[in-house]
């Protein structure tokens, strides 16, 4: 918005003072008009009651055009007429201590005075001082580009966090009786809070309480929200109580090993637990869903998983071949990079105790945030 300020503060005199072309009587500036005169030319017309000596020069930081008019004051009812000129930021004027009337135009580009001259009274006008200021097309284009970028709202990445299981689907149960659904929800909330605290992300959760959701319903929630990344959080269980460590999964039609295949099959059956069994869908439908997964989505999923593994290794125990592949239903959004994080084994007494500790979950969340920061810094995830 163009601002017009009137000021009567005492100015410091510049080294180059106004030329000595004094007049017998004091002139009065009756009006100031600013408009586009031609391509890349801004014209200032100053209506004077008397002919006066003047000086035109430019200053930097910020870019300014300065017009000093000798022995001149400003009319009390002066109300400058300003056209809608994008690159004119501010016009201000006032009388200096030495009697010089100063007009300052702040602009977005280095102003170049193309010409300046005084017109004698004619056609109903009194004396007029005319100043034409030019900017190159490249300067103007750059200014407009910067304004466009500045005006465009910056969209924060939207992350959908999925706390695994919920409701009647308890998930894995630990030796001490802890339910996976409760630990995944606590972990999801910890991650949500960490992400929001950065101020860099918007966050949604598939569930924030103990409710049942179908696997494909979780994916659809992310797609409906146009999420940029989907993170599903689970805890594992094994017959071998010594098994421990975190792992990160991304989508693959073929599991990376028999353990991953068995885990995916077990998790995918969760829909049947809450009465929404999708296993009767025709095979061609399932195949189409997999075929729709775009290559770049899968690549970005793998990149995020790799970043997570790097960050997790710094703080917690991870499984060998930490980044694994399986056909989890919650990873099948064709247009959203998705990972499933198995935060540890509930069948391992020591690891279960760690997962129940807030400080341990805080470590996990911090590692995930760092991985996400890397993803959005180094890759154009939001250019869908």
> Is CATH 2.60.40.3500 the classification given to domain 3-151?
yes
What number of H helices and E strands is found in the chain? 9, 17
What CA–CA distance (Å, rounded) separates 290 from 272?
21
The per-residue pLDDT for 101 is 95
pLDDT in tens, 21-70: 334 468 999 999 999 887 778 899 999 999 999 999 999 988 999 999 99
Q: Higher confidence at residue 277 or residue 173?
A: 173
Q: Per-domain residue ranges for the chain?
A: 3-151, 158-378
Of the listed ranges 92-106, 139-153, 180-194, 251-265, the one predicted with least confidence: 251-265
- Burial degree of 169 (CB within 10 A; 0-12, 13-18, 19+): buried
Q: Which two structure tokens, joined as six digits, stand for 3?
A: 């601002």
Q: What is the CA radius of gyration of the chain?
A: 34
Average pLDDT, integer, range 79-98: 89
The per-residue pLDDT for 147 is 66
Q: Scan for tokens 């999925």, then name that residue.
A: 162
What CA–CA distance (Å, rounded) separates 194 from 261?
32
Look at the chain and count its residues: 384
Q: CA 34 → CA 41, 42, 105, 296, distances in Å?
A: 11, 7, 10, 52
The terminus-to-terminus CA distance of the chain in angstroms comes to: 34
Q: CA 116 → CA 29, 55, 341, distances in Å?
A: 17, 9, 70
DSSP per residue over 234-259, as a string? EEE--SSTT---EEEEEE-SS-SSHH
Under 8 Å between Cβ of 109 and 87? yes
What CA–CA distance (Å, rounded) separates 382 from 149?
16
- Map residue 211 onto helix, strand or coil: coil
What CA–CA distance (Å, rounded) separates 11 from 96?
6
Q: What is the dihedral of CA 336, 186, 310, 303, to 10 degrees?
A: 0
pLDDT in tens, 281-301: 445 544 544 454 457 888 999
- DSSP structure class, residue 315: T
- Map residue 266 onto helix, strand or coil: helix
Q: Could you tell me which CATH class the domain 158-378 is placed in?
A: alpha beta
pLDDT in tens, 142-201: 666 666 666 667 889 999 999 999 999 999 999 899 999 999 999 999 999 999 999 999
Label residue 354 by pLDDT band (50, 70, 90): very high
Q: What is the dihedral of CA 291, 296, 299, 303, to 10 degrees?
A: -150
| Angle of the 180-198 helix axis to the 358-378 helix axis, nearest 10 | 50
């Amino acid at each position: 918005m163009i601002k017009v300020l009137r000021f009567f503060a005492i100015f410091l005199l510049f080294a180059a003072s106004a030329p000595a072309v004094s007049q017998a009587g004091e002139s009065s500036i009756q009006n100031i008009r600013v408009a586009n005169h031609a391509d890349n030319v801004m014209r200032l017309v100053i209506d004077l009651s008397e002919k006066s000596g003047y000086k035109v020069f430019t200053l930097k930081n910020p870019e300014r055009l300065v017009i000093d008019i000798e022995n001149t004051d400003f009319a009390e009812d002066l109300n400058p007429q300003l056209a809608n000129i994008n690159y004119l930021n501010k016009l201000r004027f006032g009388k200096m201590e030495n009697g010089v009337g100063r007009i300052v135009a702040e602009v977005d580009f280095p102003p170049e005075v193309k010409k300046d001259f005084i017109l004698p009274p004619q056609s109903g006008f009194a004396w007029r001082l005319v100043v034409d200021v030019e900017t190159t097309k490249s300067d103007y284009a750059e200014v407009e580009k910067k304004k466009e970028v500045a005006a465009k709202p910056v969209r924060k990445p939207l992350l959908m966090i999925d706390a695994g299981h919920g409701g009647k689907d308890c998930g894995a149960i630990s030796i001490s009786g802890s339910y996976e659904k409760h630990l995944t929800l606590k972990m999801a909330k910890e991650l949500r809070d960490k992400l929001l605290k950065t101020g860099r992300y918007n966050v949604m959760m598939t569930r924030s309480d103990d409710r049942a959701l179908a696997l494909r319903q979780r994916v659809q929630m992310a797609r409906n929200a146009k999420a940029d990344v989907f993170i599903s959080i689970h805890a594992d269980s094994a017959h071998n109580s010594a098994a421990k460590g975190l792992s990160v999964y991304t989508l693959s039609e073929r599991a990376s090993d028999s353990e991953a295949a068995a885990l995916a099959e077990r998790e995918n059956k969760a829909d049947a637990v809450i009465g929404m069994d999708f296993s009767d869908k025709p095979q061609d439908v399932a195949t189409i869903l997999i075929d729709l997964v775009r290559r770049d989505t899968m690549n970005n999923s793998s990149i995020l998983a790799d970043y997570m593994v790097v960050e997790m290794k710094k703080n917690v125990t991870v499984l060998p071949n930490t980044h694994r592949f399986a056909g989890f239903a919650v990873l099948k959004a064709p247009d959203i990079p998705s990972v499933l994080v198995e935060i540890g084994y509930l069948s391992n007494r020591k690891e279960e105790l760690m997962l129940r500790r807030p400080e341990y979950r805080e470590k996990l969340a911090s590692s995930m945030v760092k991985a996400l920061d890397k993803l959005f810094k180094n890759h154009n995830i939001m250019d869908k």
